[in-house]
Chains A and B, each alone.
Chain A
């Protein structure tokens, strides 16, 4: 058998399994953190599981462990199909898949041990940063190598998004993590003071933009038309939205630094760009909604379809809420409150996790060659996860607005009306509801993993799925 005539999906399967493992670890850590907020004794005076160490563990495990593995997996899968070509260097692809997991494991363990650069979402210290950079550049070589050896002339839009993810995240990661090491696990950032903050949030928000949005839009643009069995409603709109998105997003980071020591014009620029960003974000949403319209019957036959549809609702919600929170007058109330945390989770759970779940439910039968073990279980997962995420964000809206108003309220003498403790007391009941929401979401994920485990086990009994690379339609060859 000539292997070059077939796609290679073994690294994809490995990455999807790793992604599920990180989902359990990262989401469990999140639920534990939510529990610590209402039951602080849960840290048992063990330094490794105190809130300060477990919180970056949670964010890095879900974003880079769960999200990162799923993004690399789906990039490998889709770039081959859209290029009619086998992965460029399957061995390097496997190196990326394994080295990414090792980097994550080492980095996350180091966070629990207390080694941190203290930069949000970039907490790993310099040795792990270098490892991550090398793995990421290798991922870029596999991806762009496959694009370069493609057999079809057009570059499908999902690849534009994955490409932006790879290039921009490499740039952000390397620039933001430049540091002067003074020991094996400690270093100083090369930037000082406000410049450090500006660079950090240039990284921080673009990690949201390019990792959690561009990457997942790449996943989405491949999966949705496949699931719906229809082409994208407007391909031109998708490409226009891509360029508008890339150009606009890169400016918005300083909206995390409203009313701080950074220049005022920078805050205003970030605010204006954040508002403009609504246009490409919603253009994508409209394109998605119109692509799905007509694929009515798929709702019954494809358990992943519901996840993808609802992910679009949350995508619309969070891409509307983000620009709104970037408005200075709104930000003065929302900043430092749970409103922001709720906003992040409506994006991370409702959009990122839902589109990933939908994609995994779609890909697993294709990769294993057997039907999903239980569509009913997938449906139960959908409803549990949806109730969980709704409880979570509604509770944090209530908590955030209460906190924002209480922290700023003045009495008749111009003194602060409430103490910090007052605001915390009001918050506690909401944090219980948030814990319940998180528990439901985690339980739903566990159901999915059981479902996938049974599917993979059944798949092992059949032959591994080998997909022959189809010929390119006439007129589109390179």
Chain B
């Protein structure tokens, strides 16, 4: 059934800008807006002392950067998929790449509602099945949207996954460097 829906979506005529500004941008607002309310109203509970709450201005700034980072992530991933497609799926276009990330990214963006309750453990528990579902959608949508066969799709999925994990790790590393250099939490370094 899921595959049928994806096949129907593959026949749609949306252009890349239409997909981005008409869908991806808006659904991408769910995590930052949820994070804004979560960090401003409740705060992240670390340990036994009171939760870390951000001021209105800080929470707004973090949420705006979050949205910008998500959009940059979507666009760069679409470009990387198009680039990798030269090996795995020569018939694919940039619009097809946007379709893949729109479909696979939707559950994660909706799951971003979890940010309203800012507990790391809750996030791990709530988002794990969502990520698994997104992973499934990702692997079955690649061959359909990118017009290639299933085997090539698995190879390509692994390659894109490698890129995504590397990008995620880079963000972690850059965050750590920013924290140590005085941006963000007050650390004794």
Measured CB to CB, the residues of A under 8 A from B are: 289-290, 292-293, 296-297, 299-300, 306, 309-310, 312-313, 316-317, 320-321, 324, 327, 329-330, 332-334, 387, 391, 394-395, 397-398, 401-402, 404-406, 408-411, 414, 416-419, 422-423, 425-426, 429-430, 433
- The answer to whether B154 and A422 touch across the interface, beta carbons within 8 angstroms, is no
| B69 at interface by CB-CB < 8 Å | no
Instruction: Indicate if B121 sits at the interface (CB-CB under 8 A).
Output: yes
Report the interface size for chain B: residues with CB under 8 A from the other chain: 36
B residues neighboring A (CB under 8 Å): 46-49, 87-88, 120-121, 124, 128, 132, 149, 151-152, 154-155, 158-159, 161-162, 165-166, 169-170, 172-173, 176-177, 179-181, 185-189
Query: Contacts A317-B166, A409-B185: A402 and B158 contacting too (C-beta < 8 A)?
Result: no
A309-B155, A332-B180, A425-B48 known; 18 new pairs, CB 8 Å cut-off, are A296-B152, A297-B151, A313-B165, A316-B166, A320-B166, A324-B173, A330-B173, A330-B177, A330-B180, A405-B187, A408-B188, A408-B189, A416-B188, A417-B49, A418-B47, A426-B46, A426-B47, A429-B121
Pair A329/B188 contact, Cβ less than 8 Å: no
Closest residue on chain B to residue A323 by CB atoms: B173
Q: CB distance B151 to A300 under 8 Å? A: yes
The answer to whether residues A329 and B180 also contact, given A409-B187, A426-B46 and a CB cut-off of 8 A, is: yes
* B146 CB → nearest A CB, Å: 14
* Contacts A313-B158, A429-B121; A397 near B172 (Cβ below 8 A): yes
Identify the interface centre among B124, B128, B181: most chain A CB within 10 Å of its CB: B124
Q: Which residue of A lies closest to B180 (CB)?
A: A329
A394 to B121, CA, bound (A): 11
In contact, B159 and A418 (Cβ under 8 angstroms): no
Task: Report the Cα distance A416→B151, complex, angstroms.
Answer: 53
Q: Is the CB–CB distance between A321 and B169 below 8 Å?
A: yes
Q: Which one of A320, A411, A430 has the greatest number of beta carbons of chain B within 10 Å? A: A320
Q: How far is the CA of A456 from the CA of B120 in the complex (A)?
A: 46
Smallest Cβ-Cβ distance to A397: which chain B residue: B172
Q: Which of B128, B151, B181, B186 contacts A409 (CB 8 A)?
A: B186
Q: How far is the CA of A225 from the CA of B55 in the complex (A)?
A: 57
Which residues of chain A have C-beta atoms less than 8 A from B154's C-beta? 299, 306, 309
| Among candidates B149, B169, B173, B189, residue contacting A332 with C-beta atoms closer than 8 Å | B189
Decide yes or no: A410 and B187 within 8 Å by CB, A310-B158, A324-B169 being known contacts: yes
Give the number of A-B contacts (CB < 8 Å).
Answer: 109
Closest 10 CB pairs of A and B: A422-B47, A296-B151, A408-B187, A324-B173, A329-B180, A330-B176, A429-B121, A329-B177, A313-B162, A410-B188
Known A300-B151, A320-B166, A327-B173; judge A333-B47 contact (CB<8 A).
no
Q: Return the chain A residue nearest B127 by Cβ.
A: A394
Contact present for A410 and B186 (CB under 8 Å): yes
Cα distance A433–B88 when bound, in Å? 35
**Chain A residue, CB-CB nearest to B122:** A429
- Could you tell me if A402 and B46 are in contact, using CB atoms closer than 8 angstroms? yes
Whole-angstrom CA separation of A333 from B189 in the bound complex: 9
Given contacts A296-B151, A329-B176, A416-B188, contact A320 B169 (CB under 8 A): yes
Nearest B-chain residue to A422, judged by Cβ:
B47
Chain B residues within 8 Å of A391, by CB: 128
Residues of A contacting B180 in the complex (Cβ-Cβ under 8 angstroms): 329-330, 332-333
Q: How far is the CB of A268 from chain B (nearest CB, A)?
A: 16
Nearest chain B CB to A408's CB is how many angstroms away?
A: 4
Instruction: Determine whether the beta carbon of B46 is less than 8 Å from that of A418.
Output: yes
Q: Kindly provide the distance from the CB of B67 to the nearest chain A CB, expressed in whole angstroms.
A: 22
Contacts of B170 in A (CB 8 A): 324
Contact between B124 and A398, CB atoms less than 8 A apart: yes
A402: chain B residues within 8 A (beta carbon):
46, 120
**In the bound complex, do residue A333 and residue B46 qualify as a contact, i.e. CB atoms below 8 Å apart?**
no
- Minimum CB–CB distance from A426 to chain B (whole Å) comes to 6
Can you report 13 residue pairs joining A to B where beta carbons are below 8 Å apart? A293-B87, A296-B155, A312-B158, A317-B162, A317-B166, A320-B169, A329-B176, A387-B132, A391-B128, A405-B179, A409-B186, A426-B120, A429-B121
- Provided the pairs A405-B179, A418-B46 are in contact, do residues A317 and B124 lie with their beta carbons within 8 angstroms? no
A contact residues around B124 at 8 Å (CB): 394-395, 398, 429-430, 433
Contact of B47 among A290, A320, A321, A423 (CB under 8 A): A423
| In the complex, residue of chain A having the shortest beta-carbon distance to the beta carbon of B88 | A293
Would A406 and B46 be within 8 Å (CB), given that A313-B165, A327-B177, A398-B120 are in contact? yes
- Nearest CB in chain A: distance from B163 CB, A: 9
Contacts of B176 in A (CB 8 A): 329-330, 333-334, 404
Min CB distance A396 to B, Å, is 11
**Measured CA separation A394–B129 after assembly (Å):** 13
Say how far B104's CB is from chain A's closest CB, in angstroms: 16
Chain A residues closer than 8 Å to B88, beta-carbon distance? 293
Taking the nearest CB of chain A, how far is it from the CB of B98, in angstroms? 23
Bound-state CA distance A334–B172 (Å) is: 11
